[in-house]
Amino acid sequence: MTAPLSASGLYQRLLGYAVPYWRLFGIAVLSMVLFAATDTGLAALMKPMLDGNFIERDPRTIRFVPLALIGLFALRGITGFITRYTMSWIGRRIVQELRRAVFHRQLRLPVRYFDNHPAGRMLSRLTFDVEQVAEAATNAVTVLLRDSLTALFLLLYMFWISGWLTLLFFVTGPVLIVLLRMVSRRFRLLSRRIQDSMGELTQYSEEVIHGQRLVKAFNGEQWQEQQFEAVNERNRRLQMKMAAALGASTPVVQLIAACVLALVIYLATLDAVTQQISVGSFVSFIAAMLLLLQPIKRLTNVNALIQRGVAAARSIFALLDETEEPDNGRLALQRAGGTIEFRDVGFAYDSDKGEVIQDLSFSIQQGETVALVGRSGSGKSTLVNLLLRFYDPERGSIQLDGHDLRDYRLADLRRQIAMVGQDVVLFNDTLAHNIGYASPQAPDEMQIAAAAEAAHALEFINQLPQGLQTRIGDRGVLLSGGQRQRIAIARAIVKDAPILVLDEATSSLDSESESLVQAALARLSEGRTVLIVAHRLSTVERADRIVVLEQGRLAESGTHAELLANNGLYADLYRLQFREDTADDRPPG
């Protein structure tokens, strides 16, 4: 879907994020230039210090040198601060914007993307990858600019003192560059692998945290630990390879630099040369060379930092380039009437695995209640998914009020449908917030309490210490399954949409609360189009019409009485459940 981005393309795109701050960056560069100059200043100060203070004993330089020293370090301190502050400011802005963009895109990716991408990797994009990019954008750029400038100034100064000694540096320079190239390739490969392995680690521990009850119930600790250890070990190995690459590259480069230094010292102290250069100049030259080592060392390390940033930027931009949910409809919709029609709908989650819905046609009139019945896996939830446009059908068309769903604006379409699903998702917030989620801007307390009451949730809410203002903990773990479902029903009531979709919405309720909630739902259904999926057939008997699905096809449809008389699949299912019901009052939902 997305073309792999070249490194230079990535830089350009990242640069795009920094462009608005070019003025601040200008200030940063200026302070880096001054900072870099102080190193050369320090080396240059050696010359008057030795020649003037010690050999000639000139009173002016005796006063000047100590003051200059203080001045140099003051300048270094101030420019160092400005560099760090401005670069961090830019870097943090970039982080903020990248996070905003990633979050924005994650919210709008199609459901299918989430089906195919592990959550841990998506989370680590937002946390880990973005930080890596920030590192590259601030620390690496600082090192790159400041240390190259430092090196440049020092080299120029050295050249000024003695051209031919400096030339030695240029002879050995290419060796260093070739070495850096080799090292950088290794870094790039390793940092990409480390990133994947970090994602794996997050993914894995996240799964176990969410599934901790399951792990406990099935005594899965040991097995999970073994699994985790494998991931953990892989991460350690990769990190060690990185450490080895980092650790080896630095001393090799330094050793080469030291060889050069030794050679220079040897050549410079040969008689012929010492005649031409004063002691002060010579010490200045050596000082400049020594001062060169530090920036060169940092420049060799910065490569790893940049490569990490590039690898992270690549994965961030790949996500940002994913196409959003298709939302090409132009038809606005305030409030739908609620006539729904499925016309020859065909759909497959995965084209290799065949169609899950096949040639399906049926319609639901405005205000009608239609129940979807069928064995587990027959495609009931898939139909609900299609109605909400979590997926689009491959063939045929689904229409609302005579227009294909794809003709409407996506947000308008979804506003028409209140859905209560099988898995109730609750946010780590107050009950009031969770119930009023459909209108987060104006959560009307009265409305929320009324909805909670209608859903028979108020009775248990009132027993909580802070009532509707109770925070319900991560994913609502503090509530029972039945309580969670009633919250979800209240949430659907607040939404007040013309179409109500209930996908096994009462499956976790006990018989008593179920009949209470059924009554509430019956009241809620008045004047609305209702699509109800239920496992327990007792809850669908009252529907105006029952549609029976079998392996994604329409098996039969009609009223409860008609279908029983028909003696088909529905009658089979019904008899099966009736037998279970007499054997056990509460069949598995």
Ligand X SMILES: Nc1ncnc2c1ncn2[C@@H]1O[C@H](COP(=O)(O)OP(=O)(O)O)[C@@H](O)[C@H]1O
459 interacts with, out of ligand X, Mg ion, none, CB within 5 to 8 A per kind: none
CA angle 342, 343, 349 (to 5 degrees): 75
Interface positions with Mg ion (CB under 5 A): 381
Tell me which residues in 443-482 interact with ligand X (CB under 6 A): none
379 binds ligand X (CB under 6 A): yes
How many whole angstroms separate alpha carbon 540 and alpha carbon 433?
A: 31
Note whether 394 binds ligand X by CB under 6 A: no
Give the pair of three-digit tokens for residue 459: 């009775």
Asked if 282 and 268 touch (Cβ cutoff 8 Å), the reply is yes
Helices 279-320 and 7-18 sit at what angle, rounded to 10 degrees? 90
Task: By CB under 6 A, tell whether 380 contacts ligand X.
Answer: yes
Q: Which stretch binds ligand X (CB under 6 A): 131-139, 304-312, 361-369, 379-387?
A: 379-387
Structure tokens at 433: 């917030």
Give the nearest distance from C-beta 505 to ligand X in angstroms: 13
Complex with Mg ion: residue 44 or 533, whichever CB lies closer: 533
| Cβ nearer to ligand X, comparing 224 with 551 | 551
416 binds, among Mg ion, ligand X, none (CB under 5 to 8 A by kind): none
On whether the CB atoms of residues 295 and 147 are closer than 8 A, the answer is yes
Task: Out of 338, 374, 421, 482, point to the residue binding ligand X (CB under 6 A).
Answer: 374
Among Mg ion, ligand X, none, partner that 376 touches (CB below 5 to 8 angstroms by kind): ligand X
Starting from the edge strand earliest in sequence, which strands make up the sheet with 417-420, in order?
A: 417-420, 499-503, 529-533, 369-374, 545-550, 553-558
Pick the closer one to Mg ion by CB: 379 or 476. 379
- C-alpha to C-alpha distance for 308 and 291, rounded to whole angstroms: 27
Residue 309: name its binding partner from ligand X, Mg ion, none (Cβ under 5 to 8 Å by kind).
Answer: none
Q: Judged by CB, which is closer to Mg ion: 98, or 534?
A: 534
Q: Which stretch binds ligand X (CB under 6 A): 122-130, 174-182, 378-386, 485-493?
A: 378-386
Question: Which partner in Mg ion, ligand X, none is near 115 (CB below 5 to 8 A by kind)?
Answer: ligand X
Mapped onto helix, strand or coil, the DSSP state of residue 118 is: coil
Q: How far is the CB of 382 from ligand X (least distance, A)?
A: 3
Calpha distance 384→340 (Å, rounded): 12
Q: Strand 553-558 relative to strand 545-550: parallel, antiparallel, unpaired?
A: antiparallel
Least separation, in Å, of the C-beta of 101 and Mg ion?
34
CB 501 within 8 A of CB 364: no
User: Any contact of residue 390 with ligand X (CB under 6 A)?
Assistant: no
CA gap 369, 371 in Å, rounded: 7
* Residue 247 contacts ligand X per CB under 6 A: no
Q: What is the number of other CB atoms lying within 10 angstroms of the CB of residue 573?
A: 17
Residue with smaller CB distance to ligand X, 380 or 545? 380
Among ligand X, Mg ion, none, residue 512 binds (CB under 5-8 Å by kind): none
Instruction: Decide which of Mg ion, ligand X, none touches 473; Cβ closer than 5 to 8 Å per partner kind.
Output: none
Residues in 104-123 at the binding interface with ligand X, rule: CB under 6 A: 115
By CB under 6 A, which span of 174-182, 372-380, 474-482, 580-588 interacts with ligand X? Answer: 372-380
Residue 382 interacting entry, from Mg ion, ligand X, none, C-beta within 5 to 8 Å by type: ligand X
- Closest separation in Å from C-beta 384 to ligand X: 8
d(CA 191, CA 140): 15
By the rule CB under 6 A, 351 interacts with ligand X:
no
The 8 Å CB, 24+ separation contacts for 573-582 are 573/373, 573/375, 573/537, 573/548, 574/537, 577/536, 577/537, 577/538, 581/538
Select from 62-70, 131-139, 377-385, 561-569 the region that touches ligand X (CB under 6 A). 377-385
State how far Cα 10 lies from the chain centre. 18
Does the footprint of ligand X cover residue 381 (CB under 6 A)?
yes
H helices present in 109-162, as ranges? 111-116, 119-124, 130-135, 141-142, 148-161
Strands of the sheet with 403-404, listed across from one edge:
357-364, 340-347, 395-400, 403-404
Tokens representing 98 are 């990248």
Q: Does 547 bind ligand X (CB under 6 A)?
A: no
321 makes contact, choosing from Mg ion, ligand X, none, with CB < 5 to 8 Å by partner type, with none
In 3D, which of 139, 198, 187, 195 has the Cα closest to residue 314? 195
Count Cβ atoms within 10 A of the Cβ of residue 130 and give its class: 0-12 exposed, 13-18 middle, 19 or more buried: buried
307, 382, 434, 529: which one binds ligand X (CB under 6 A): 382
CA gap 138, 142 in Å, rounded: 6
376 binds ligand X (CB under 6 A): yes
Which entry of ligand X, Mg ion, none binds 377, CB below 5 to 8 A by partner kind? ligand X
Q: By C-alpha distance, which of 417, 396, 421 is closest to 341?
A: 396
Which of 356, 386, 489, 543 binds ligand X (CB under 6 A)? It is 356
Neighbours of 541 (CB within 10 A): 15
Q: 380 or 486: whose CB is closer to ligand X? A: 380
- Pick 398 or 461: Cβ nearer ligand X: 398
Any contact of residue 389 with ligand X (CB under 6 A)?
Answer: no
Q: Which is nearer to ligand X, 493 or 549 (CB)?
A: 549
Strands 417-420 and 499-503, bridge-based pairing: parallel
Closest CB to Mg ion among residues 489, 494: 489
Q: How far is the CB of 199 from ligand X (least distance, A)?
A: 21
Q: Which does 276 bind (CB under 5 to 8 A by kind): Mg ion, ligand X, none?
A: none
CB of 507 to Mg ion, least distance (A): 10
The region of 129-137, 248-256, 310-318, 370-378 touching ligand X under the rule CB under 6 A is: 370-378
The closest alpha carbon to 404, from 321, 360, 470, 342, belongs to 342
Using alpha carbons, select from 447, 452, 388, 165 the residue that is nearest to residue 284. Answer: 165
Q: How far is the CB of 373 from Mg ion (least distance, A)?
A: 11
Question: Considering CB distances under 5 to 8 angstroms, the limit depending on partner class, which of ligand X, Mg ion, none binds residue 356?
Answer: ligand X
Q: Is 358 in the site for ligand X (CB under 6 A)?
A: no
What distance in Å separates the CA atoms of residue 387 and residue 370, rounded to the nearest whole number?
14
Give residues in contact with ligand X (CB under 6 A): 115, 349-350, 356, 374, 376-382
